[in-house]
Structure 1
């Protein structure tokens, strides 16, 4: 016989086993263009997932379907076992989008208080302002806030319902380096509490530094899914960097195993499957110095994977990234 405590524990464990996001066979078309072409994606609770892809890859359209803003033409998506709209209405998910949603004539605190009035239960206003790093500017008009401060205000608004899933769509677009760092420090502290975070970004360094997992889309499909290390390992080879005045890119490209050669002033970067052979050649047959060998970085992998899956095409108006 199960006791009430055992039943409650079992229910809690069962809830924890439900994916934060469970998308299966998602398809979305805009006219003749298939913006999302059969996406399967499961995100476990507590994960921090970066959603990457070039413009037109289908990232934002996929996020819109997760938020219930767009209905899929085929497939299903659930958030914590609920429809997206139900999950949002019950406070399980919040989003920080790129623009919109702010009244410039209200103060920061008034904006959060107004948003809180839309929910039955919320976290204390001072708490979310503190967690977003903007408690000290609570009396400032929104119109007088910088772009980074306005994004942190959107973050504070998203935290009011204490959501299990936080979706960020290009959250640091337009921020300077310091603003981006400050924003991500706030996100990272909050994610450490166990919140699930899904963020789309064009800044690959953000994905590399803050994500537990990377999902890469191209032409409406997921082309890679794994940890940063796993994604980098999908493209073989290394990069040999060296200082070589007067380098001959054609001669270097002809070396066995070389896939690409880049030159910037006297500095060269040789992408190769045989870094030892390239290093040996540079050190014994040229005047190269300051040589270093590095693994593929996320940018090179991103370019390789999206290029391999995306034949040249003309962007179609109306299809979101």
Structure 2
């Protein structure tokens, strides 16, 4: 694959509109992602994330708009080996061993990633001799990642990549992603695990109803939501606390969502409530995404 000019965006989406029958899945989406970025696509089911990924891969024909992948059409980019994809419902051929499948996929590229390094990078070096049908859910995801990376693509698209992984597997997976990003790979991933997006992504793109409702760093998206959460250990609380919009209790721990932290704390002290294990935090990324996608806020 020829060298890529650094000023060419990894992904350039303009006015993308996708319909599935009468359902408007993506609504006039504009999105530009530079080379080397790690970007999380967030939003509820039906927000348009998977449809956007499918359009980028050329798997569906948009109703309107244009998609350019590293300066090429989606189909040309895929044929040139510019894009690796790990889709939510990706499958593996049965009655084969992992090493055989990896060899088959690598053979379709002119300059594939060397098997030993590819297997070590994706954590499948101990699985090459194993039958595909004997893999666990997390192991299958790692094999799918290896296949997506077999051609050393500069752009990697991931749709719910850690959905079948346990905590240890997810941690190892994102360690791999950080390593790829450090090498200059552009990583775009859709996920419902918002703590992953907060920890890994340089940039967060939030979709709702097929439209873009937020685009920026995780910190910037969090800051768009006002309010704080006050947590403390308390057996009882006054019946009416100023600023508090919701109260959640887990055992002895109480979480108060409030728009006025000072007024809430002052009322607790005036009521004689000990501020035991007090913790005051801003909105989490989950709070922010929930607020943005349910309120229809735009930025």
Q: Same fold (TM over 0.5)?
A: yes
Secondary structure (helix, strand or coil) at the match of 2:189 reads: strand
Q: 2:181: which partner in 1?
A: 191
Match of 2:74 among 60, 64, 84: 84
Contact 1:246-1:266 within 8 A present in 2 as well: no
Shift of 1:117: 1.8
Match of 2:246 among 260, 264, 286: 260
Q: 1:138: which partner in 2?
A: 128
> Which region of structure 1 is more displaced relative to structure 2, 79-88 or 25-34?
25-34
Q: 1:230: which partner in 2?
A: 220
Match of 1:101 among 83, 87, 91: 91
Shift of 1:162: 0.8
Match of 1:305 among 292, 295, 298: 292
Aligned positions of 1:231-310 closer than 5 A: 231-248=221-238, 250-252=239-241, 255=242, 257-288=243-274, 289-309=276-296
Aligned positions of 1:106-121 closer than 5 A: 106-121=96-111
Shift of 1:118: 1.9
Q: 2:13: which partner in 1?
A: 23
Compute the RMSD of aligned alpha carbons: 1.7
Distance in 1 (CA, whole Å) between partners of 2:230 and 2:178 is 33
Aligned positions of 1:16-55 closer than 5 A: 16-55=6-45
Distance in 2 (CA, whole Å) between partners of 1:145 and 1:24 is 40
Which ranges of structure 2 fall in alignment gaps of 5 or more residues? none
Aligned positions of 1:120-199 closer than 5 A: 120-199=110-189
Q: TM-score, normalised by structure 1?
A: 0.88
Distance in 2 (CA, whole Å) between partners of 1:186 and 1:242 is 37
Deviations 1:62-119 (A, max 9, x none): 1100110011100001000100110011011110112333123211111100111222
Query: For this pair of structures, how many residues does the alignment match?
Result: 295
Contact 2:119-2:125 within 8 A present in 1 as well: yes
Q: TM-score, normalised by structure 2?
A: 0.94
Shift of 1:121: 2.4
Secondary structure (helix, strand or coil) at the match of 2:13 reads: strand
